Amino acid sequence: MKHHLERHKEIHAGDTLYSCTECEKHFTTERYLMQHMNVHGSKYQCTECGKCFSSNQALARHRHSHSGEKPFVCSICGNRFTCSRSLAVHSRIHSGEKPHKCPVCDKAFSQSCDLTRHMRIHTGDKPYKCLLCDKSFSQSGDLQTHTHHVHSNRRSHDCRYCAKQFKTRRHLKQHVYTHTGAKPYLCEQCSDCFRQLGHLKAHLLKSHNEGTWFTCHICQKKFIQIASLKVHLLRHEVVKPYVCCECPLSFNTAGELRSHQLVHLDV
């Protein structure tokens, strides 16, 4: 119908005239706003978990997550889904369809959420803000990693050879090499082996001159890796961005902060 077409065109117009008074979301039509407001009320509320939805259809789809019912079946691989939308998105794995195209670099994605995340590369948008410091991130996973590494003292990865514990599986894996003697990173130029990838890269620069040195523009000190130069530059600045959440002290690097936080563990 014509009014459906006109309503659809408003999506592409980009005008967000109707704002939600409960959150920061904006909508192109009053109808969409009113539908959204149901999320903040209890009109379409799940009796199992209390979560609210914008429509009865959305609530019905959600109820499948509690019942375990998956009525929508992929005709190619047999995977089952709770709603038709999930099945449609899954079907693109088999068809290779990528309908969501980036208007800046022409990359294409099978899901709109992937395109939304990708667009932050171009816009610089970082909507995920750390509540413990001033850092912001473009991806929720990056925020979770940051919070776990910098602000959490939880170490859930145990070494089977000694009593040491580590925050990440990667750090545990590197540590285990000290017990096993394994050196999995091989230099193809001279057959030397290294325990860490960073050591191999440093070797290539020093011994085989593969790559470039990064020079500090203030003191002319040279570094093998750009990350090392960035850490070094912090020492020339007054600002110390890594702030301890237990006391007023601040530090130049995340490593210095982590070492300092061990003091509070002994209290």
Query: Tens digits of per-residue pLDDT, 31-64?
Result: 777 777 776 776 777 777 777 777 787 777 777 7
Pairing of strands 26-27, 18-19: antiparallel
- Note the CATH number of domain 213-267: 3.30.160.60
What's the pLDDT band for 117 if we cut at 50, 70, 90? confident
Structure tokens belonging to residue 223: 């570094």
**213-267 matches 1-69 in CATH topology:** yes
- Between the CA atoms of 173, 174, 180 and 185, what dihedral angle is there, to the nearest 10 degrees? 110
Q: Where are the domains of the chain?
A: 1-69, 163-211, 213-267
What's the pLDDT band for 1 if we cut at 50, 70, 90? very low
What CA–CA distances, in Å, run from 181 to 158, 173, 174, 184, 230?
18, 12, 11, 10, 31
pLDDT, tens digit, for every residue of 224-256? 677 778 878 877 776 677 777 777 777 777 777
> By C-alpha distance, which of 113, 118, 82, 111 is closest to 97?
111
pLDDT, tens digit, for every residue of 178-191? 888 888 888 888 88
- Note the CATH number of domain 163-211: 3.30.160.60
Structure tokens belonging to residue 164: 């040491």
pTM of the model: 0.38
- Spatial distance between the Cα atoms of 204 and 180, rounded to a whole number of angstroms: 24
Q: Output the average pLDDT for the chain.
A: 77
pLDDT, tens digit, for every residue of 136-177? 888 888 888 787 777 777 777 888 889 888 877 888 888 888
- Note the CATH number of domain 1-69: 3.30.160.60
Quote the pLDDT of residue 2.
47
Containing 75, the helix (H) or strand (E) segment is: none
What CA–CA distances, in Å, run from 32 to 60, 102, 182, 186?
19, 25, 59, 58
